[in-house]
Every structure is written in structure tokens, then in C-alpha cells.
Structure 1
Amino acid sequence: MRLSTALTATLLATTAAMPAHARGSAREDADTAASAQSGGTPAPAPAPKAFTTGVAKGRDLLDTAISASTLDDTDLQQLSVSSIAGIMQNIPGIRSETSDIDGFSAITIRGLPLAAEGSKFLQLQEDGLPVLEFGDIQFAGIDQFLRADLTLSQVQAIRGGSASTFASNSPGGLINFISRTGETAGGTVQVSSGVGHDLKRIDFAYGSPLGQGWRFHVGGFYRSGEGPREIGYTGFSGGQIKANITKEFEGGYIRFYGKYLDDKQPNYGSVPITVGGTNADPQLGFLPGYDPRDQGYFSPLTSSYAEVDRNNNRTVLDARDGLAAQVKAVGLEAQFEIAGWTVTNRFRFSDISGSYNDNVPFVTAPAPFFAQFGGPGASLSYAAGPQSGQAITDARLLALSARIYADLESLDNVTNDLRATRVWEVGEGKLTTTAGVYNSRQDIRMFWNFTSTLQDLAGGGRNAPVNITTASGVPVTDSGTLAYGFAVGLPFSIYHNRYDVGYDVLAPYGSVNYQIGKLAIGASIRWDKGNVQGQVFSPGFGDGRAPFVPFDVNGDGQVSLAESRVPVLPLTRPAPVDYDYDYLSYSAGVNYRFADRLSAFARYSRGGRATAENAIGTETLDPLAGRPNNPDLLVSVVKQAEAGVKYRKAGLSLFLTGFWASTDERNAQITADATGQAFVQQIERTYSAKGLEFEGEYKRGPFTLVAGATYTRAKIDKDVLAPAFDGLTPRHIPDFAFFLRPSAEFGKVTFGTAVNGTTESFAQDTNQLVQPGYVIVSPFVQYRPAEGLTVAVNAFNVFDRLAVVSLQAPTIPASGLTNAQVMNGRTVTASLRYAF
């Protein structure tokens, strides 16, 4: 369905329809609680909230056959993280690999595989609609275009269950970030600053009823600073503003809303570390003066470099843009009662663009190793900075880096979800029926560019580019650039691509739920049909002509050695893309409420996940047929079974769920060989996982304890391409992960801590090198000296533990060096908040 069709459907729907999701008690309770806290008086424990994400009708969790969690305003204030992925680490069942930035995160659920970055099997929503249709678009993770601020009312998460039938491409689960809508009058202004690091931020939010059924809410943030890691320049810069206005009337409401996001942040990717000991008990360390917990790999001296753009023209890239996101979104929600039916509609158009910049150390070695690239007698020297032109004659460590740039020209997304629900009296019970249709249009217009550069590892935001010169004085590099593409190991053409593709999705769906007495039985079904059209430009799709040409990239009038083989796009010979796909999802569950405080449920689900641009790359697209060369690439199927018990009494709630999940996966993942050398591995596998999820909360007097834990046993059931992996454990999936959040409130003071931990896992699928687990303790204290005023201090990772997100090497390499992505070290933030 094209954009015009979606718009037409929306206009028609506004005369009829929209979901309880946006208006229900979940938002109202959160706004009311926040208002009570703003006056400096502790809010009473909220009543049980209706859960509305990924279900037909909002209900108390004890009446639903799903496994779900909610983080409200109080929870969010106590977390010492600001990133979307960081927040998700506090939801059971979620594995979220992040450096506490929005973007370059890997997120999965219930042991489903982490083959690449992004969230392939988990959908992220904002106010009930997906931010992007696909969670693992290369170099464009969903969380890059989503921010948490004071406009956020709560986070709802559903694991498995009916997520696969009430949203497209969400077979593993849904996480919904729900905005405030101004049910109560009041506002908040907050200023915060890093303690010991440069990052300043201001947040504001205000909402109020306007009378005659009208109400509004507006808020946002702005931030600026270098950030918690030394990079030598302003890495964080930008913010967002969100606003909505609602008109309520008998039997329904209509809401208009908008969002403007323009923000950039540094990319805390992989950096070199030392590794010794044994594979089973590795000892991790740092290069001299280069602690990755507070050191970045970028610097002002390495930020700018010459390249070729999407139109084969000269350009200069500036990596200081980091992970840049621009979103301009408008939408509406509406709900009406018509002839006994509750008709609901949600619509949003988002103009989304941005850029991705990364600098990955590909090979780290002593300087003489790189001199070999220039032949016998070659020399090394600094290419920029205070030591520019100075010879390097010792064996200091240098790194050959892969500079990755992605121009995210358009990820525009238009989405419409129309549904109708009715409750029927059938016998002694109630039958709830829902029918709906979802349609969306997702654009993927982007350009990838890879460059190989040489630099030192000075740290402290002072890393500088390095030149190689032959013995006869011929430059091998251009201002540190060794090759316009990959210098070693990988084909140039695979990662110099331009995509101009549109994905149209049409998905009718329906559900039935019959409740009689204490028993509720339900089932739902969804059929997704997609049409993909567009074109891909890549040197790998040429017509026999050379994909590389001599090109004066830096414009100095000469073609250097580095410029002798430059990948260029065949702009007049694109590969067409034109194919369809479809898949069926279904879910059925039963819930029995034994008593007011106790219930149990069981459910089985099957959900699909369409593959986005990973299916139409150089290695996977048939450039003549316009479709993937392997039909199995089109859709991955996830099957899940789960059963659980839920208990709630006074200040105690306990939820325990057992699960089994299985999926097929065809993807490409970056791994490494025994020497630590990175390479891209194609995988075609089936995976399975089983385990337990626990979540609980206990309140007694001034004390509160929130806890969650996940036990997972995952394995690679079958590897079609490499049977030696059969039966092994997927990388980065620990057996046990947990969080604890104890807190206490005494008069004007609230204090507590957030504890996040995980046991060890394997660095790669070979199951050799163990990736150490970690426990991070992040205390907080809030002091309310006067009415409406709160002074707070949050300290993330107060004990400065080394928390490894990912290790690159599958085994300890002979060099004793590998790449690692780690979480921030000790990061303290102070804030002053005034609520009125």
C-alpha cells in the first residue's frame, strides 16, 4: 500500500476511529503520580494499571495471558542511564548491549540470537506505533531515533505473547515508550550536569487541561558537551521537543501530536584492549594511557577525511557528527463508539534522516608492522596535529582503522493502524472481538562508505593520523588514508553501497477472547504482506567493468597510490529490486484467575519477521531477478511457548514465567579469526532457547525493592553452512542476568541504588573465549529541600567496574590484543528539578 493509500485510510478513519492504548489508565495514573511527587510529598502506591501494549484491550496484568512489564515515572527517575537501550536493561528477558548512547546497540529477547546490531526480533514503539518498521537496518538502529526525557510517562514491554499479532515484525516482543498527555495541570524544569565530565542538559515539560474536554502537553530537552569519555570535542549536541493536544468527548477523543528531534552523540564503538590468561579465565587490561571506560577512539585530528559521495563526487566527511538523528513527525489518535463498537485509529508520518560515523580499529600492531605496507626502507610520520611531519621510529602501537560512514538520507516512515473492538454478552461470559488493518510505508534511502586509515593510540582526544612513505619518498597514504575502501581482508565493493528502496506493508489482523468467571481463553491472527521496490547501486552489481577506478579524491591534481583503486558506484547501472513476501502469525493463550491475588497463564505463538536491506546486499540480491537469491532470506519465523504465574497482594507482586523460543536466522555477522582479524561471516541457522523470567516488587513502609532476573539456556540447533557449530551456545547470551533496585524514602530524602548484572557468556559462537560477566552498582539520592524542588545525584557504575558489552576475538590471539565494546566507567550526574 502506497503512501497516498495510507493517508486516505487515515482520513477516512478519523471520521470513525482509535485505541484505548493512548488514552487509558496507564497514562492517567503515571501523570497523576508525577503530579503528586512534584509537590514534594511522596505519592501513594498507584493502583494496578491497565496494560495496553500488544493486546486487544487494556486489562489488569493478572487478567491477561501475557508476560509483561511496566517502568513508570518513579522507576525512570531512579535509573542512572538516559539511553533507550540502557533503560531496557531493567526489563526481564531483554538482552541490551549498549554503551549508554542512543544507537549502535544490539538488543534481543529470550535468548534469540544477536547476529548483528539493532533489534531484529524486538519492535520498539513510540505511543503505540513503530519508530521504524525494521529494527536492524544496517547503521540505523531504532534507538538512534528515540529519546527519553520528561515527556516520557512510562515504558511498557510485552515478551512473546500476542506481540506478534498486534504489530508487524515483532515476533519476540514489543517495547512501547508512552508520552504524557496532560491529564493534570503542572510542569517540570530540570537542569543537570556531569560531575567530572562535560555534559550539560536542560529538560522541561508542561501539561494541563484547558476546559471543555481539551488538554495538552509539551516538553523536550537540549544538551551539549564532550560527554563521559575523552574525545577532544563536543560530542553531544542537540535535543527534541514533543507536543500533543487532546479533545475528549462522550465515547471517545481525538489527539494531534508532533515531534522534532535533532540530536547527535559520539559513537562509543570498539577499542583495542589487552587479553591474557586463558580462554576460560581471560585477564583483560588496557593499553598504556588508554582506558576504554573513559577514552573514546575519535579525536579532532582524525575526524575529517576525504572520500567519494553517493554521486561519485569528492567530499570531506566529518566524523564529529557521530550518531546524528533528525526526526520530524506528526500524527493523530482517535477513538469513537459506533453501534456498540469501539473504533480506534493511530496514524503517524515521520520524516527521518541522519548519519552514522564509526572508527573501528581493524588491525592493532607495533609501528614497524605497518611500515611494511611501504616496502623495504619505508618510513612512518604523523600526518596532522602538533607532531605533524615528525618521524615515528619506535615500536609504539598504531591501528589500521575501518572508517564507516552511512548517509541516512531518508528512513521516512508512514504508519496507520485501524481497529474495531466489541464486547458481546455470550451465555454467562463476555466475548471480546477485534478486527483491524495495519499498513505502513518504510523508505530506506542510504549510502555506505568505508575508508581505511592509519592512526596512533595517544588517547585523551589526541589520536592522530599517520602517513607511510616509501624509501624513495613516494607517499603510500593520503593524510593517513591507506585505501578508499577496505585495505586488507575484505572485498571493497561489498561495503560501498547505495540503497533507494521502499517497503509497503499491509497486515489485516483479528482476535477473540472469551472470559467466563475466572477463565479467559483467547486467540489472535495476523497476515503480513509486503511489497519491496526500488534499486541498489554497488560496484558489485556492475556489468563487467572494473568496480575501481583511479580517482583524485583529495583534489590535489594527482592520483596517489591510495587513489589508484577507488570504488565508485555504477550510477547508470543500478540493480533493480522488485519482490513480494508474506507470512502468517498467530497466538493462543489461556488465563485462569484463581483468586483476586493469583492467576496463571499459558500461551503458544508463532510470529514472522521480514528481512529488510540485509536481503538485497551484494552477496544476497539477484541483480537480474530483482529479488534475494535465496527465498529463505525473506522471512524469519519465531515460535514461542510460555507459561507463568502472577501474584499480587498489598505491597507485594511476583511474576514468574517459563519460556521456550525458537527461530531460523539468515544473516551476516562480524566476527574474527583466531588471530583476532575481523571478517564478515554469513550464517544460516536455527536457534532455540529456554528459560525463566522473574519480576517482583515489594513495598513496606518507606522501603521498596524492585527485582528482575532471567535464566536462559540457548543453543545453535543447526548450522547449514558450518555444521561444526551445531549444539554450541550463541555468542553474548549469558545463562543469568538480573537487576535490583532497592530504595527508601524518609521525609525529604529518597535514596537507593540500581544494580545490573550478568554472568559470563561466550565472545563468539566458537565457544572458546569467555566474555566476563559484570555487576554494576549505580546509587542515587534525591533531596527535596522545599515544595516542588528536588536535588538529585545519580552515579552510574560507582565502583568503576569494567563491563564488557562485546569481545571481538573468538580465542586469545597471539598478539594479546583484541577489540572490545565496554560500558562507561564511573559517571556521576547532578540535577536540580523544580515542579510546579
Structure 2
Amino acid sequence: MRTITMLRATAASLVILTPASVAHAQSTPLAESTLRETDDATNAGDEILVTGRLGTVAQKKVDASYSITTISEKDLRERAIGNLAEAMQQIPGVWADSSGGVGANNTRVRGIPRGGYESLAVYEDGLPIQHDPGINWINVDQFLRIDETYSGIEAVRGGPSSIFAANAPGGLVNFIPRKGTPQLSGLLKLTTSDYGQIRGDAWLGGPIADGWRFSVGGYYNKDQGIRDPGPAANNGGQGRVLISKDFARGSISFGVKYMEDNNFFFDAIPLVRNGDDLKPLAPFNGHDDTLTGPQDGRVQIKTPDGIRKAQFNLFNQTSDLQFTLKGNTEFDDGTTVSGGFRYRDSTTDRNARGLNSLNTKAAQLSSVRANAVKAFAGRGATDVRLVYNDDGSAYGANANGNGLVGVNTFQSIQNPIKETMGLIELGHVYETGIGRHDVKLGLYGTTADWAHDRNDGVGLTEVAPNARLLDNVAVNAGGQVVGRVTDTGIQRYEARFAHSYGGYEDVAFYISDEWQITPKLRVDGGFRYETIWIHGYSEGVKSFNLGNPDTLADDNVLYGSDVFNRFDPKFSDHSYTIGANWQFMPEAGIFGRYTSTYRLPQIGQYRDNVLPTGIRSQSIEQAEAGVKFQKPWGSLYATLFYNSFKDVQFTNTYIDPASLRIVQEINYGDVSTTGVELEANLKPVRWFDVSATATYQEPKFKNYTYNTIVAGAPVTTSFDGNRPSSMPKVMASIRPRVSLIGGRLRVLGEWRYEGDKFNDDSNLVKLPAFSVFNASAELDVTQNVTVQVKGTNLSNALGLGQGGGQQLVPGAADGAVILARPILGRAVQGSVLFKF
């Protein structure tokens, strides 16, 4: 049965390999855009769009029956957008937090409470970068780096995105690579910054022979990070080659991309809370300090099989090799066929340290004293001390001005994944007595191999920037060290172990129709049916004593038991959408849409040694209505939206202070959201324009309860009516732009506002609202040389991206100190661009 399933999953991938003549210029499949760069920002409504399209006939943004945002090559360069989260911040209805650094950031779309990119499909050149963008510990943003090889972005919010894309209840984002040009052309861009950045981008494109064109480019970057962890925070790059040819009635392209990157993940720091006012705990500077430091490289995770391969001073290590083949053709009767195939082989090593809780020195020593003195009694132990790991000096009661001890999780997580994805679409347009039908049929398939290996240690550090490791040591009456509770800062090796491997196959069929009833009225609909087979094995866990008599850190090590539990679930679901658009004048229209969709489970939910129960597909109901207006001097797109998300799974993770085991609690709840999105542009004169976005939303929990034990008795607590964590009600941005000296000098400003949000689902800790000011200036020194300066967070605002730390009950940290992750502080970046 599984063999048949895998054949189905790969059948669509293989279709593109069959010989065929290729496509008519208007047959633009697989969400491929024909974005055209223009000097007039208001011309965006004239761009031909296909991302999220229900048909194949060319359609402008102003004619669309769903909400879509476009970001051109010019926008990418002027705004110096550096990563996926920063790109998402340009889109109304999307909350994106880039405070984590280059990758592993967080998003929320229209109030849907799914972390990472679980509700947002991310495509490149019309195919998924990763089938499921939100697999635990393998977020899609780890495999996407924005450089000069991209020509633009299209982003659909809600609407029909979940008909054409898997795992896209919130929307679909498509990154469009630059193709070869008729004549040889290229560019070289050199960038530096005040945080030690050295970066080079290059691109070259042109003709080969017989209509074939090439596009080759990439980048290399190295920097210390705005929050300097000691070693280079980011070091790596990517390269891409794209070969393409346009025929009279079709096109074909083949691309290869390879990325190798080490990047630092900025975790939470402690902050002092006074009501809703939060400030960094001394001696932290919230703008550019981080707990992570050079001593993290000393940490080793010891196991019964030896020392775990984990380099904590290299942070997140990611490699991704991607092959893509695409083609399309149009037959004599107007029928179009398009197909795409993608294979990728990637590995992610997540090496990170996260601060979980804080203790006073006295409390920390008290928690281990009795056990340590007993364990080393034969050596004369009478007491315990807290010392620095590097030189053995005593840790003072008021060290760093706070005297606190940090209990940290040192996580070493390895996630290799190989995926094969294929898509074939058949389109046909035909006339009837009552209008034109534009019909599309699609078949999508994926097959993948996946593994998850995790080893976590619990370790002690001081609470200070670039924190040093601490050791608990047992001493005799003379103060001499006779034993160690910890080992190189680690209090317990292997507090969490996971080893799982397997794969999945996914097959989806969809059909859609755009019915142009009259020149002004269009109705569309679509249906998708999808099945995923998830399979694999998860190893059980047992405790080991590694037998080192000099330390207690290895007395209770969790590791694999060599007993494997099989998982083999199958999930199916369907979605449908119906919409209407009334274009009452060429420059204006209104639309409405209802979508019933779903979010299927993913293999990452089976990564731990205790297999989950009750996993189910999650259902989402969405409705939206909008008005569109586009003139040469300005535009306005406004959308009212509603969604109801059923059976949302929430996992709460915490460290049991008694056993030092990491514990997980799974809860389910519902969330409903009502909101409005605005996207506008005004260009009153040729030399000035201003664009703006705004979102107001009201997300609320329903049917969300959890159980805890208080004084030995079960207690049920409800979060009904609460706002999900990391969801501001209000988000807004304004971007004025001035063009001077005949357009050679362009100055762009940005004000971005993020309303208050909660640190957790209990709504006990509120993270205050904040504003950020960014600016950039570009000067064309010559026709071929451009210099740019960009400043981010110019006011050095202490905005908090999201809450960090892990508590048993979300919001337990309602005392004097909480953990949260500030946005990055002020930074200045400069570049010079050479074009020919």
C-alpha cells in the first residue's frame, strides 16, 4: 500500500520530465510572476499576478478577488530587506518578529496562533521551499536568504492560498528568482556595517545560444551580530544557477541552489517588571547584549556512546541543496499544461543555549547541598560552593550587580530532511452563453525522508552579557574541592533525549474555476482534497549512570533504550473556497470570499520518545471582504477578515525543578479573530510618495483549559477570552520616500508601530507597545554605481519581540523578573552597487 502511495506522490514530479513543446507567454504556471519594476510605486495595481490564482488568464492586482501584497526588486533593494521575517513585516495582517536573527523567527497571520511558519506556505519560483514550512526545529526561514538573485515577492493572505498550497491556512508567499536577460548584464554589491559585517552579492545574466539564457549569482556574509556573542554570529552564503528558454508557445527552466550558513539565534534576556513597565536586568543593555558567550564553546554533552557532536559556539549550522525543473506549454485548442519538480537535501544543526529560570546563589547552593555532601562524604565533603568554571574563583553573592544564577538548557538538535516535490496543472478557458470559464486542475505530490536527534543538557551560568559558566563544587572543611556537582557548567547531561526517524508522503488534488459572468462581475471557486501518510520510529528513553566518580552530572543521563515505537498515522482533509469580484470601474472594485480549510498534522509532532495521542487535523473557517482603488496618483486596498481556528494544539514545556527533567504538557483550544487590513499609497507629486499599512485585529481564545496540581489537588484553569501570546491588536507602518536630483537621490523613511501583546496565553505579563524608526538613502553616483546607507532602529527603541523562557503554567513569571527577547538595537549599514 505504501509503495502505491509513494508512486502517487512522485507521479506529479515526473510529469515535467516528459518531452513537450513549451509555453505561451501568458501561460504563467506555479505562481510564477511577471512583476515589472517601475519608478512609480502606484503602478503596483497593474502588475500581472498569478500567486494564489484560481485561473490562468492574466489578471492585475487591482482585479484580484483576494488580498495580495507585492514587493518589487526595487523595494527589496531600497528597504534593504535582510531576511524572511523582515519581508513579512512589510505585509498587513502579518506579525513577524525578526529579533531572533537571520532565521528561526516567528510569525502570526491574521490572528492564527501557530508559531514559526506553520500557517504560511513559503514558495520559491512557484514551488515549496519546504513542503511543511513549520516542522518542529526546521522552520522554512532557515533555508531562505534574500540576496540579489531575487526579483520580487508576492504574498497572498488567506483567500485561495490553501486551495493551491499545502499548509497555507494563513497565506502563501512566493519568492521570484531573477532570470537571464537578452543581453549580458550583471551587478556586484559590497556591504559593511557597524557590527563588523563583510558581505558581497553578485549576479550575472545573459544569453547562451539558441534562445537559452543563464542567471547565476549569490552572496557571502560574515558579521559579529548586533548582539555580539564572541565568535562570528553569522558566517556563510549561497549560490544559484538558473538556465531557461522561452519558446513560441512555452518555456522551460532548470535551477540549482546551494546554501551553507552558520547563524546565531538571539534568545531571551532577563528583564525587571514593574507593572507593565519592563527594563533590562542589570548589567544588561537591552539593545546589543546577549547571554551567549565564548565559553559556550566549552560545553560538551556526554552520552553512553561518547561525546555528542555539538558545537555551541557555531550556533545554527544549515546546509541546503536544491534542484528545480519547470516547464509549461499551450496546445492548439488553448489548453495549457505546466509542471514543476523540486528535490532538496538539507541538514540543520541547532546548537543553542536558552535561559530557563533564575536562582539566587543561596537558593542554588541549597538545592544541591544535601545530595552533594552525601555523595562525596567519603572524601570529606562538608559544604558546596559556586565557582567560575574557567578559573575556579568564587561566584560572589552580588556578582554582576544581581547575584543571580542562570539555569540554562543547552540544546543540540540535528534535523536532516530530503524531499521530492512535484506539481502538474492543466488549464483550459472556454466560452459559454453566460460568460467565460477559466478552469484549472492540479495534482501535487511530496515524498520525504526525515530524522530528529536531540540531546539537551541543563547547565549553570552567571546572569550577565556573554555569561561565563558556573560550577557547583563540593568542598571539605579546609575549603578544598573534593567533588563536582556539575561538569564544565553542566548540572545534568541529557535532561532530554529524542531520536526519531521516518518520512511522509503527501498527495493533493485540486480544481478551480474563474467564471467571468460579465466584464465587471466574476465568481470563482476551488476545491482541494489532500492526504498525508506519516511513518517512522521513535526510540524510547532510559536513564544511565556514566560512572564518573568525580561528578554528579552524569549520574542520571537520559539516552536511547534501543526500544523503538512505530508511528504510522494517516490524515485526510479537504478545503473549498468561493469568491466574487465586482469591478465596477477599471480602477476600483469590491470582493468577498469564504474559505473552509484545514491544517494537517506534521511529522515533527512525532519527534519525541512519548508518542502523542489525539493528533487531528485542524479546521479553519475564513471570510473576507474588501475594496480596491487604484489611480496613477494613489491606491487603497482595505480588507475586513474573520477566521475561526478549531482544535489548536498548544505545547507547554518546562523544567521540573525536582528531577531536572524537561516536561511537556499538551493542550487544545479554539481561536477566533476579527480584523481589518489597510494598504495604501499616495503620490501627489513626481518626487514624493508615501505608502502605509495598518492592521487591527481581535483574536480571542475559546474552549482552552488546562489542568495543574495545586497542594495535591487537581485545578482546572481556563484561558477563554484571553488573547493568544505574541499577537498585537494594532500594527502599522508609514514609509515616505523623496526623490531628488532628477531621481538620482532617493531617501526612504519608515515608522513601524507594534501594539502591546502578551508574553503568554495566560495574559499575566504584557509586553508594551513600541515604535521603530528606520531610514535609508540611495545615490546614483553614475548610471552604473549606486551607494546606499541604511539605519535601523534609529531611536534605539527597547521593543520586545516576544516572551521567552518556559514555565509550567504560561505566565508563571509574573514576579519581579521575566524573560523576553528585545528587538535588535540601532545599527548602520552601508553598501555600494556596481551594475553593467
**TM-score, structure 1 normalization:** 0.89
After superposition, where does 1:121-520 map in structure 2 within 5 Å? 121-185=119-183, 186-195=185-194, 197-276=195-274, 278=275, 282-308=276-302, 312-338=305-331, 339-375=333-369, 377-384=383-390, 388-395=391-398, 396-408=403-415, 410-459=416-465, 461=466, 463-472=467-476, 473-486=482-495, 495-516=496-517, 517-520=519-522
Q: Contact 1:24–1:50 (CA<8 Å) still a contact in 2? A: no
Deviation (angstroms), 1:166: 0.5
Q: Contact 1:733–1:762 (CA<8 Å) still a contact in 2? A: yes
Q: 2: distance between equivalents of 1:283 and 1:273?
A: 10
- 1:411 counterpart SS class: strand
Q: 2: distance between equivalents of 1:436 and 1:784?
A: 46
Deviation (angstroms), 1:432: 0.5
* Match in the other structure for 2:546: 551
Q: 1:529 to 1:565 in 2, by over 3 A?
A: same
Q: Contact 1:27–1:181 (CA<8 Å) still a contact in 2? A: no
Q: 1: distance between equivalents of 2:798 and 2:456?
A: 30
Q: 2: distance between equivalents of 1:432 and 1:173?
A: 22
Q: Contact 2:34–2:48 (CA<8 Å) still a contact in 1? A: no
Deviation (angstroms), 1:225: 2.1
Deviation (angstroms), 1:75: 1.4
Q: 1: distance between equivalents of 2:42 and 2:581?
A: 29
Q: 2: distance between equivalents of 1:244 and 1:751?
A: 33
Q: Contact 2:100–2:265 (CA<8 Å) still a contact in 1? A: no
Deviation (angstroms), 1:639: 1.1
* Match in the other structure for 1:84: 84
Q: Contact 1:304–1:316 (CA<8 Å) still a contact in 2? A: no
Report the AA paired with residue 767 of structure 1.
Answer: N
Sequence identity percentage: 25
Q: 1: distance between equivalents of 2:257 and 2:271?
A: 40
Q: Contact 2:327–2:339 (CA<8 Å) still a contact in 1? A: yes
Q: 2: distance between equivalents of 1:243 and 1:47?
A: 31
Q: 2: distance between equivalents of 1:682 and 1:25?
A: 40
Deviation (angstroms), 1:305: 1.8
Q: 1:509 to 1:534 in 2, by over 3 A?
A: same
Structure 1 position 615 matched with structure 2 position 600? no
Structure 1 position 629 matched with structure 2 position 613? yes
Q: Contact 1:373–1:468 (CA<8 Å) still a contact in 2? A: no
Report the AA paired with residue 648 of structure 1.
Answer: Q
Deviation (angstroms), 1:753: 1.1
Q: 2: distance between equivalents of 1:294 and 1:288?
A: 14
Q: Contact 1:600–1:643 (CA<8 Å) still a contact in 2? A: yes
The C-alpha deviation readout for 1:362-384, integer Å capped at 9, x for no partner, is: 12233222222331631111112
Q: Contact 1:312–1:569 (CA<8 Å) still a contact in 2? A: no
Q: Contact 1:27–1:178 (CA<8 Å) still a contact in 2? A: no
- 2:461 counterpart SS class: strand
- 1:697 maps to which of 681, 697, 700: 681
Q: Contact 2:45–2:61 (CA<8 Å) still a contact in 1? A: no
Q: 1:450 to 1:629 in 2, by over 3 A?
A: same
Deviation (angstroms), 1:253: 0.6
Mean Cα displacement is larger for which, 594-603 or 197-206? Answer: 197-206
Deviation (angstroms), 1:786: 1.6
Deviation (angstroms), 1:207: 1.5
- 2:796 counterpart SS class: coil
- 2:830 counterpart SS class: strand
The C-alpha deviation readout for 1:46-81, integer Å capped at 9, x for no partner, is: 771111112133511222211111111121123254
Deviation (angstroms), 1:774: 1.0
Q: Contact 1:513–1:523 (CA<8 Å) still a contact in 2? A: yes
Report the AA paired with residue 555 of structure 2.
Answer: S
* Match in the other structure for 2:710: none
Q: 2: distance between equivalents of 1:598 and 1:415?
A: 38
* Match in the other structure for 2:51: 53
Q: Contact 1:671–1:681 (CA<8 Å) still a contact in 2? A: yes
Deviation (angstroms), 1:757: 1.1
Aligned residues: 784
Q: 1:80 to 1:816 in 2, by over 3 A?
A: farther
* Match in the other structure for 1:564: 555
Mean Cα displacement is larger for which, 648-657 or 609-618? Answer: 609-618
The C-alpha deviation readout for 1:256-295, integer Å capped at 9, x for no partner, is: 001000011111011212222x2xxx22122333223211
- 1:164 counterpart SS class: helix
Q: 1:739 to 1:645 in 2, by over 3 A?
A: same
Q: 2: distance between equivalents of 1:167 and 1:320?
A: 37
* Match in the other structure for 1:835: 835
Report the AA paired with residue 817 of structure 1.
Answer: V
Deviation (angstroms), 1:14: 3.3
Mean Cα displacement is larger for which, 752-761 or 802-811? Answer: 802-811
Q: 1: distance between equivalents of 2:346 and 2:134?
A: 15
**TM-score, structure 2 normalization:** 0.89
Report the AA paired with residue 404 of structure 2.
Answer: L
Q: 2: distance between equivalents of 1:23 and 1:807?
A: 38
Report the AA paired with residue 503 of structure 1.
Answer: Y
The C-alpha deviation readout for 1:458-499, integer Å capped at 9, x for no partner, is: 42x4x211110124432100011001134xxxxxxxx41112
* Match in the other structure for 2:772: 776
* Match in the other structure for 2:802: 806
Q: Contact 1:22–1:127 (CA<8 Å) still a contact in 2? A: no
Report the AA paired with residue 620 of structure 2.
Answer: V
Q: 1:164 to 1:43 in 2, by over 3 A?
A: closer
Q: 2: distance between equivalents of 1:301 and 1:779?
A: 36
Q: 1:671 to 1:536 in 2, by over 3 A?
A: closer
The C-alpha deviation readout for 1:162-219, integer Å capped at 9, x for no partner, is: 1010111111111111111124542111111112x11211111122234532222111
* Match in the other structure for 2:709: none
Q: Contact 2:27–2:330 (CA<8 Å) still a contact in 1? A: no
Q: 1:759 to 1:613 in 2, by over 3 A?
A: same
Gaps of 5+ in 2: 371-382, 477-481, 707-715
Q: 1:215 to 1:703 in 2, by over 3 A?
A: same
Deviation (angstroms), 1:230: 1.7
* Match in the other structure for 2:376: none
RMSD of Structure 2 on Structure 1 (CA): 2.5
Mean Cα displacement is larger for which, 295-304 or 228-237? Answer: 295-304
- 1:418 counterpart SS class: strand
Q: Contact 1:738–1:758 (CA<8 Å) still a contact in 2? A: yes
* Match in the other structure for 1:576: 566
* Match in the other structure for 1:26: 33
* Match in the other structure for 2:375: none
The C-alpha deviation readout for 1:674-702, integer Å capped at 9, x for no partner, is: x9x99754221111001101101222311
